Structure 1
Amino acid sequence: METLEKLQILSGAARYDASCASSGSRRQDASCGTGNTSQGGICHSWSDDGRCISLLKILLSNDCIYDCAYCVNRATNPVPRASFSAREVVELTMEFYRRNYIEGLFLSSAVMQSPDHTMERMVGVAELLRTEERFGGYIHLKIIPGSSSALVRKAGLYADRISVNIELPSQESLRRLAPQKHKQAILEPMSLIGRQIQESMLERKASRHAPRFAPAGQSTQMIIGASPESDLQILRLSEGLYRKMHLKRVYYSAFVPVNADNRLPVLASPPLLREHRLYQADWLLRFYGFSAGEILSDDAPNLDETFDPKTSWALRHPEFFPVEINRADYGTLLRVPGIGVTSARRIVAARRFSVITPEGLKRIGVVMKRAKYFITCSGRPFEKTGRQPELLRSRLLIGDGAGESIPEPPPKQLSLPGLFA
């Protein structure tokens, strides 16, 4: 099979993995090699499902021994199969980089023969790029659950980011939809990676010449909508992963029905709005000081489709408002709909020199169409709604204050193989 034909198969097979975002990191002595992890200079393209691609995003192979119900590459699916050699991936990466098509490599794979066999070949790609090609660009390697700890450690020394896909939010869902995968085989490498990252950071403090281990951190991905877990269960899992595994990012991927299987739900379309709301809630966990138990509860375990999670929380807690802009601390400001991390910092900084005015809030960047219902400025309210959640809810809807909408999908561009046409 020709390399271009393999590329068409294996780049297409990789499009359902959402956890390929590049987080800039710096590598030692990269200035005398090829590529740079913190500089751009690429041409962005888009996958056919609307996701932005800035990396050469491919599978090493789609010839899988597993038979997961939701996966297009499952063993029993009659799809074209292909596998790259390590040298082929290296040559493709360097050619695409030199043509300014990409800024780095995202490499995953189906499980060939065994987890260790597959992981060894993937690590071999990264090793060739770093040692022979002196490639200083971004590399993201997907860790195969069940791989040996030695291979996981080696992967972290060559890659900028490594990730283990948790895929489904519970052991029961794994047992039903991916019976060859096990929770412990997923969590063990995640825990190892978290410890190695922490140890590497301590070693770097003692000596700046100590090797870096996955300097851009680790991430994971969950499929949303293929199994019956609530949003609360998903967010509690994410919260635990951030706290215990030191994850950089959890990605949520709306379930796309690609297989006919009676174990899977029948959906008219992927649950993109639910995915969007989970990302917003995840942002609250990571940067706004919220806990999963505050965002949702056992009585209301799923996110509101009408309002973003912070606005929804504010509507359920009228006793918390209004917030006085000129006196509230940073943490309190972050709870106000329409005030983000940057604008909250600007408010705190500006108050040191003068009283904040309504005009000043707009210049600072506060989204007043939402914030005005929840704040006072020197004791004066912007909108008199009292503590009437239903009135406030209707005002927010009328004023288009329901939070960010899902952006329109970008126009299709050439897939990576199409660049050769």
Structure 2
Amino acid sequence: MRARGTTPIGGAQSGVTVATTTEQVEALRPLWQSMSVSNLDADIDYFLAVVAHLPGVIAPHVLSVERPGRPAMIIVARLERHVFPVTVGYTELLRPHLKTVVVSFDGILGAQSEDDLAAAVLALRSTLRSGRADAVILQKVGLQSALHRAAVAGSARVTRIGGIAATRRWLVTLPDTLDLLLEGRSVKARKKAHYESRRLRRTYDSVEVIRLDRVELERVLGEIEAVARTTYQRALGVGASESALGRALTTLSFERGWLRVWMLHIDGSPAAFWWGNQHGDTFSVDTPGFDPRYTKDGVGTFVLHAMLDELCQDPTVAVVDFGHGYAEYKERYASQSVEQRDVIVLAARVRPLLTGQFVALLATVNRMAYRLLRNRSFATRLRRTWRARLTERRGAD
């Protein structure tokens, strides 16, 4: 069913059309593909694959906003039964959920001004007022961005979940060679990387990095799974996955030519990989993986350098996006970072507001604990211990 309504924006009437079926989304394809899409997550085919295969998704919820005298906008979003997990470390304690409109990363297409972004926020709030959803999530919004200002100005403070920790999105602008990129690292770190590379080649009979995306798809899926199932990320439910969603997105990326995979073979067997998708002049890194049997061999860094070496020489790639969230390698290799946070706006109803207060309280506690632990060596050791236990538990299963 297609829902239609009007929302007053800046004294004018705004037409808001909601596409809630695949057929209605497809009807937007000509307009959608005429717009600049800066993030693969907001590509129409990628979006439809997520909607079709992500557990918990109820339906597409793509808003088309038309206003007199202004260009049309598309807000790429899905309606889902969204879980707000309450965690301590890597342990999940509770799973409260709300019916939520989740906007894709960089999913407001066609906006050309702060007024346009304000109109988009108002259109999203109309979904909450209509009762179709209990919450709206704008994912990883830059704290200094126009969208963040519009989201804060366009919603009452009591309806926003507070206490959510900011994360950083890490990027590196590529020079022409890997050596130039590594100049930003210490002499000691560069010598260590060279030493570990030579030691790896001395230790094993055959050490080879191959571009898996240049072979057949089934081999790509098989070798990635062979490594990914041994990693701690699999125990956390992140990274490469044999799920229907993981397979669908990898297949789509392979078929569309976005996918890049660097796989390390040691004595003929897959041991570690780095991978991601190229969209425009940006290569976005997905979660890497390595077999924990080779932890002391530095295989992760070995493949990372092979990937960066090739990307530096590729004239079609200008930026590597390591994604959001902290990792030691991101801080070491990134040349810039942007502070981001999810903006979560709740419907002004009892259940959403109470759920939001509970989530905010636990988020504040977690953020305070993180601040206490960060920059402490024992925090790093604690994370590694958790990950090792998860990997061992995964192996036992």
Same fold (TM over 0.5): no
TM-score normalized with structure 2 length:
0.28
Larger RCO: Structure 1 or Structure 2 (Cα < 8 Å, ≥ 6 residues apart)? Answer: 2
Larger Rg over CA atoms: 1
Which structure's residues are more often strand, by fraction? 2
Which structure's residues are more often helix, by fraction? 2
